[in-house]
Structure 1
Amino acid sequence: ASNLLYVDQPTGTGFSYSTDLRDIRHDEDGVSNDLYDFIQAFFAEHPQYARNDFFITGESYAGHYIPAFATRVHRGNKAKEGIHINLKGFAIGDGLTNPAIQYKAYPDYAFEMGIIKKATRNRLNKVLVPACELAIKLCGTNGKTSCVAAYVACNLIFSDIMLHAGDTNYYDIRKKCEGSLCYDFSNMEKFLNQKSVRDSLGVGKIHFVSCSTEVYMAMLVDWMRNLEVGIPALLEDGINLLIYAGEYDLICNWLGNSRWVHALEWSGKNEFTSSLEVPFVVDGSEAGLLKSYGPLSFLKVHDAGHMVPMDQPKAALEMLKKWTNGSLSESRAQKENLVAEM
């Protein structure tokens, strides 16, 4: 369906490394500039791919990376920097993009899914949510120390919920959390760290880890910043955006994602808000609920947690194929025509 290019980023993640500590990034400007430099170098080396439609995708914390990189590519194109990149769209799966809205949704989602009781939700909404909102305002889009303070204040909401959730896997509330990452990825790490694999990838003696503590700590100042701010301009210029989320993910739940998408201030906001939610059908079965208007689509994926492609591979592939070829919203249009005729 497409050529795939996977990038371990920011520097220090996976097999991506530097011998200079100054290359460890602390914000999305640094991250997006590195990614832009990389993709420019890639197209210079492989010019046959530069004319292809270009889509940027990622999940979880990529709710920050993806809008920043899409904005950087679009800006580079407009300024006629380097090689033109044929940016058509960007997609975020179970991402963290607008923390103010998404953290506020935690108590409501946890209550709706039976993780906490109504009294707990009311207490969180009365005490911890306002403190989180205030802290995020102080953080803004470029704060530093204040953003770390916001990270601490807001994650008290999540920690409180997890006290009630026990050993529930916050990436998929249908499962139990086992190990530091709630999933056992040891086989993947063993495979990637084999000498033959490292040699074939040309990464030398770099040791692969699933999560980099160094990068995590370096990006704490970035965590609570709102990365939704650059998205409206991309939508106005016709760059397609797909937001999707598994219904059983707690940590970047569909409810919080739906709320920030609906709150986006762009010319199609009213039309998107009033558009019909229609079934996303795969092999004759409903695999999710889709809402779309113009360049913006939101898909709640059934029977999936945080990692939709792992939980629902067939539905995820169908979603991306239809989105990249422009047919994802066809069922929506057909349904609206049917309603109009009735």
Structure 2
Amino acid sequence: MDSAGVLNMKVAVLLCFVFGSFAEPLKFKPHYVEPKQEWSYVDVREGAHMFYWLYYSTVPEGFQHVPLVMWLQGGPGGSGTGFGNFEEIGPLDVNLKPRNTTWLQVASLLFVDNPVGTGYSYVDNDEAYTHDVTEIANDMMVTLNTFFMIKAQQFQEVPFYIFSESYGGKMTAAISQALYQSIQSGKISCNFKGFAMGDSWISPVDSTLTWAPYLYVNSLVDVTGYLKVNDSVTMVADSITKGQWREATDLWGASQTVVVENTNGVNFYNILKWGQGESSSLFKEKDNVSYRMLAPLYQDDLAQLMNGQIRDKLGIIPKNVTWGGQSNEVFATQAEDFMKPVTDIVDDLITNTDLEVIVYSGQLDLIVDTLGTEQWVYRLSNADTFRKAKRKPILDPITKLTSGFVQSVDNFSFYWILDAGHMVPSDNGNTALEMLKMIVNTNKYKH
């Protein structure tokens, strides 16, 4: 952005509303009209402060006629306001250029830096970090209660969905269960319709045990490499069976080093993107397990943007808070809970609620490969019925070529997204947007 653009941004900060929204649109590129926005902190507990950033949909008929989608990043400790926003589905990319596949064409977007300590969210002391998905869900209930009941009551009747990625899916399962219960008990007024878990860490043992076959069928290891990887991940599974959760997390990190050494540094997030976003040296740093889950977040241009122009624009970030793509501290405090599954929660929400439950998986993702995701999906209570459902192709809206498949039964759907890795909207934005349209079926919300 040129100096004039930066000046306009700083002037806009002076016109902030009480909750952080700005009165005049910022000037970015010609023909770009910045959407209406609001942002705020929520004090979820003493010493724990969660940040959210709301974008109103750009549809001509107005935000009341389309859904609200909350986006949760993975990690745990990955920043949704940074990565999900500027790298995947927000209105602008890291270079502040309009994104053609922004989800604002279909829904309003709510990015939350979750858990506390992630991105712009912060804690006053180490004791305020969360340690498991139950604590994460409790904090989110405070945030959503504040959002729907106090700061954004205009969204109470708007259909609400939670979309997530990676570890965000594990958090989303727990959050969705807590939110559904809060709505049923009358604590929160919210038109909650469903949730989607993208390349999500729902059953860590299934995701990890399928690395060897996935690598082998994609010619990334030979038989010898297959056996080495399989031996390593079997140790992870053994620790899980014994309930040695922290040891399982450590062994999971060590097993990635085995994968890297036997594949010449495969990219865990997209097996076709050699040398992009991560390097083998990251995987060899003994105590840097958190890097392995979200290494692509370590990008200088995004960090500079978030700690520079965006920080100035928001105007409410404390001086002692530095935005980071991935918080090592957040990951470390979740180490005991990291390898625990939440398949029982997903099964409960499919069986005992009317929520739409969606799983989507990128074809080129290794770290949460489709093979592993199918393993736990085919153990759900509705597995027999789901297997008999017809799988339908999804066509790319531009090329009209097959770019995915979907299979549904009752309130459960599975989307296979082709030409995409772990970060589906980043790799295949057209199909991700098409998937969103299919899920929320925007037309049924128009009056």
Common fold: TM-score over 0.5: yes
What are the Cα deviations for residues 237-261 of structure 1, in whole angstroms up to 9, with x where unaligned? 1211111121111111121112211
Shift of 1:9: 0.8
Answer yes or no: is 1:315 the counterpart of 2:413.
no
Confirm or deny: 8 A CA contact 1:55 1:90 kept in the other structure.
yes
- Pairs within 5 Å for 1:124-143: 124-125=229-230, 127-139=231-243
Shift of 1:278: 2.2
What are the Cα deviations for residues 285-323 of structure 1, in whole angstroms up to 9, with x where unaligned? 211122221111111211111111111111111101210
Aligned partners of 1:196, 1:170: CA distance in 2, in Å?
Answer: 29
- The corresponding residue for 1:112 is 217
- The corresponding residue for 2:374 is 258
Confirm or deny: 8 A CA contact 2:245 2:340 kept in the other structure.
yes
SS in 2 for 1:221: coil
What are the Cα deviations for residues 197-253 of structure 1, in whole angstroms up to 9, with x where unaligned? 345252132211111111111111111011111111211212111111211111111
Q: 1:196 to 1:130 in 2, by over 3 A?
A: closer
Work out which of the residue numbers 336, 341, 362 in structure 2 matches 1:226: 341
Instruction: Give the AA of the match of 2:162.
Output: I
Answer yes or no: is 1:158 the counterpart of 2:260.
no
- The corresponding residue for 2:390 is 276
Q: 1:87 to 1:138 in 2, by over 3 A?
A: farther
Shift of 1:121: 2.5
- The corresponding residue for 2:161 is 55
Confirm or deny: 8 A CA contact 1:244 1:300 kept in the other structure.
yes
Q: 1:250 to 1:78 in 2, by over 3 A?
A: same
Instruction: Give the AA of the match of 1:110.
Output: L
Work out which of the residue numbers 357, 361, 364 in structure 2 matches 1:241: 357
Instruction: Give the AA of the match of 1:32.
Output: A
- Pairs within 5 Å for 1:1-342: 1-44=106-149, 45-80=151-186, 82-122=187-227, 124-125=229-230, 127-139=231-243, 146-177=244-275, 178-179=277-278, 180=282, 181-182=295-296, 185-194=299-308, 197-205=311-319, 206-236=321-351, 237-264=353-380, 266=381, 268-283=382-397, 284-325=400-441
Structure 1: gaps of 5 or more residues = 140-145, 328-342
Aligned partners of 1:95, 1:216: CA distance in 2, in Å?
Answer: 16
Aligned partners of 1:186, 1:104: CA distance in 2, in Å?
Answer: 33
Instruction: Give the AA of the match of 1:88.
Output: K
Shift of 1:182: 4.5
Aligned partners of 1:198, 1:26: CA distance in 2, in Å?
Answer: 32
Structure 2: gaps of 5 or more residues = 1-105, 283-294
Confirm or deny: 8 A CA contact 1:92 1:244 kept in the other structure.
yes
Q: 1:188 to 1:138 in 2, by over 3 A?
A: same
Higher fraction of helix: 1
Confirm or deny: 8 A CA contact 2:297 2:325 kept in the other structure.
no
TM-score (norm 1): 0.87
Aligned partners of 1:192, 1:155: CA distance in 2, in Å?
Answer: 29
Confirm or deny: 8 A CA contact 1:169 1:182 kept in the other structure.
no
SS in 2 for 1:7: strand
Q: How many residue pairs align between the two structures?
A: 317
Q: CA RMSD in A?
A: 2.0
